Amino acid sequence: MKHLSVLILLLIVATGCMAQEKLSSNNKKAIKEYYKGMDAMEIYAYDDAEQAFLKAIAYDKKFVEPYIMLGTAYEEQKDYEKSMEYFEKSIEIDEDFFPGTMLVLARMQAKNGLYEKAAANYERYLKRRDIKVASRAQAEKGLEQCKFAIDQINHPRDFDPQPLGSGVNTENSEYMPALTADENVIIFTRLLPSTSAESATSMQEDFYTSRFVNGNWTEAVPLSKHLNSPQNEGAHTISPDGKTFFFTACNRESGKGSCDIYMSKWRKGDWDYPVNLYEINSKSWDSQPSISPDGKTLYFTSSRNGSMNIFVTHLIDEDTWSEPEMLPSPINTNGNEMAPFMHPDGKTLYFTSDGHLGMGGLDIFVSRKQADSTWSEPINIGYPINTSNDEAFLFVSASGDKAYFAGGGLLGQKMDIFSFDLYEEARPEAVTYMKGIVVDQLTQIPLSASFELTDLNNGNVVAASQSDETGSFLLCIPSGHDYGLNVSRDNYLFYSENFNLSGVHSKTDPFIKNVELQPIDKDAIVVLKNIFFDTDKFDLKPESFVELEKLIQMLQKNSKMKIEIRGHTDNTGGKEHNQQLSENRAKSVYNYLIGKGISASRLTYKGFGDTLPIETNDTPEGRASNRRTEFRVISN
């Protein structure tokens, strides 16, 4: 429904348009035309209103009110150039007649990128002594914004957007891109003419997907009949491993509010039927989800508090989400915050806001989650990425160097998807990825298995994934940390790996890892690659506890299993010393497990010194492999 803004209604009242008050003209013909224009404005007959106001001005060129109302009428029709022209003329005639016009004009000039002119009008307005406290605060904030915008324009960021090509962009509008961690699959929203009688509008949003092959995006195809419907779908996110899809759908029979968040899983070569995340949705508008790399934290936008704010919910168990909470300051403000995107590094959040200092309207900001779980002060990512227009839905690649967004195409309001190199200061932590296949060690049959990547310094799970029925998996790995990888599946011994990523890795230097899982059989041996001791010591280092907890979980699931803890050393040092050291290390693991409730009747330990090497002792790498702790299945 059409409506006049609250500010403009105040203008109408203030200029005496809603009552027969004294006007700035005594010309009866001008006044008659003016009231004709006002009657037309009340029923949104803008053409009639325009003609009447122009006639009023023709009869009396000093008649202030029709200038203001012409500015109002043009603003309502989004003809901002004419609107600003007539507001300026009204101020030239008599700036004391309605000083608020200066505030309206300054806002419009700022919204259209005319920051120098807007700043001048804000300053002019602030020199007055007759303005109210609230209006002064608005003008001061507007002036601060203009000065910020002018500074940003004088110090632009590198920005060279490139269209993704005809495989993705068409004569229709494409927007809201989301990519997998390896940047080989993109999912986006396309606006199409509706061909279904079930659709409530003439246009319809559907999901499309494309693959990056030989340097180009293939021709996009509809995502899945399980996800696309005759209604609108959009505002989506895909987990970094490409296995879980969250999206927004509105006015569905299964909906709780006007728009709700749904989730779908990749199963057997297609997306499963989506389920409404009923417990996190509200009766209000809930949309724009973004999932963390471990799959356990979901960020989204909601209007449940009256304005747009960013909320967060956490996965408590396999199917239960916690009560959503609003992200604290400094993320949310008294304005609107929307379109969150949590990068696969698990700590860098990009979002859109009109409450933080920006270029006007909605700008894109970046904030980073600190070690104590607080958020850094959001930073405006700068001009010309942000402009006087509204910007939203920035997607940053897992590698962190490239960003994707939707911008205006060549056909007016048409949107196309572009990418650009993100400048250094706005980049997230570098993230590489591991991909490969999980198979049964004996039969080589592909297996579905669970993956967890844990930061060994703090025990936090930083990424999680699941291999599908083909055994394939993809897992994000942020650089700069020491990680423990655990791969598990029921009725199999878990697999562990250690990664020391002290350098920066990139999408061009990923880890390719094929994992063979051993069935739980007698005499099967698993090397515990994330058990650590100081040199020549046998006290367990804290980084070992993550792996030991996985071992405990496996023993708890398999209550009849008995194992032997085995310690090994390299050939450095004397035989007797190595034998004693290996035995003490095995005993440390044995004692830890007993201390955590595993019955001693299920455990034994033994040291082998340097008698059972698995690599050469002639190289540092070989000696490191030989210094190991492992367990052997005695019975199952």
pTM for the predicted model, two decimal places: 0.83
Give the torsion sign (CA, 464, 468, 471, 474): negative
Span 1-17, average pLDDT: 45
- Whether residues 94 and 191 share a domain: the answer is no
- Whether residues 384 and 485 share a domain: the answer is no
What CATH number corresponds to the domain at position 123?
Answer: 1.25.40.10
pLDDT score recorded for residue 225: 84
- Whether residues 358 and 448 share a domain: the answer is no
Query: For residue 581, what is the enclosing H or E element?
Result: helix 575-595
Query: What is the tens place of the pLDDT at every residue in 515-539?
Result: 999 999 999 999 999 999 999 999 9
Residue 627 pLDDT exceeds 80: yes
pLDDT score recorded for residue 407: 81
Residue 440 pLDDT exceeds 60: yes
**Strands 603-607 vs 562-567: parallel, antiparallel or unpaired:** parallel
Domain stop point among 154, 174, 202: 154
The Cα 498–Cα 628 span in angstroms is: 12
- Whether residues 341 and 479 share a domain: the answer is no
**Strands 309-314 vs 603-607: parallel, antiparallel or unpaired:** unpaired
- Whether residues 449 and 584 share a domain: the answer is no
Q: Which domain holds residue 464?
A: 430-506
pLDDT score recorded for residue 139: 96
pLDDT score recorded for residue 386: 94
* Tokens encoding 544: 């070992």
* Tokens encoding 608: 């082998």
Domain count, the chain: 4
- Whether residues 348 and 487 share a domain: the answer is no
**DSSP symbols for 126-190:** HT-SS--HHHHHHHHHHHHHHHHHHHHHHSPPP---EE--TTT--SSEEEEEEE-TTS-EEEEEE
248-277: b or e for each residue (b if 16 or more CB lie within 10 Å)? bbbebeebbbebbbbbbebeeeebeebebb
- Whether residues 555 and 614 share a domain: the answer is yes
Domain stop point among 471, 506, 541: 506
What CATH number corresponds to the domain at position 630?
Answer: 3.30.1330.60
Residue 372 lies in a domain: yes
Query: What is the tens place of the pLDDT at every residue in 232-276?
Result: 888 899 988 888 999 999 888 888 888 999 999 988 888 999 999
60-64, 331-335, 412-416, 502-506: which has the minimum mean pLDDT? Answer: 502-506
The Cα 169–Cα 369 span in angstroms is: 34
In the three-class reduction of DSSP (H, G, I as helix; E, B as strand; rest coil), residue 540 is classed as strand
Residue 513 lies in a domain: no
- Whether residues 351 and 411 share a domain: the answer is yes
Query: For residue 98, what is the enclosing H or E element?
Result: none
